[in-house]
Amino acid sequence: MFAVNKNGDRLEVDDSNVDCSKGYHSACCNFVAMYDDDIKLKRVWILQLQKDINGFQGRAMELELVKEVKFDHGPTENEILYRMSECGLGFQDVATVVKGYVLDYRE
């Protein structure tokens, strides 16, 4: 295992005596997060679909989040168009793609 502090410093930890069957597999606290050596960060893409609730009323755009969809790849324009249609989005509505990370296990 290893620990990472708030400065990003990594500390190797000997966990050979830790009994993982008792739920001590991924301990963390306010100052140090501990992860199993098999943990990695996996990149994901989140498609955020937002509707302009003012529409064409001549008022300033005001967006309301309708749905978020996670992708394991950067979504294509066709995938974005499909999801926009699925949620009833049209002109003046917004689709945003945000890159993120989720915890995953190394293969």
- pLDDT per residue over 32-82, tens digit each? 677 888 889 999 999 999 999 887 777 888 999 999 999 999 999 999 999
Instruction: Identify the helix (H) or strand (E) that includes residue 84.
Output: helix 77-86
CA distances from 77 to 64, 82, 99 (A): 21, 9, 16
Q: Is the pLDDT of residue 86 over 60?
A: yes
pLDDT of residue 48: 98
Q: What percentage of residues in the chain have a pLDDT greater than 70?
A: 86
What's at 32, amino acid-wise? Answer: V
Q: Looking at the DSSP assignment, which residues form a beta bridge with residue 12?
A: 2
If DSSP codes are grouped into helix, strand and coil, which group holds residue 72? Answer: coil
pLDDT band at residue 24, thresholds of 50, 70 and 90?
Answer: low
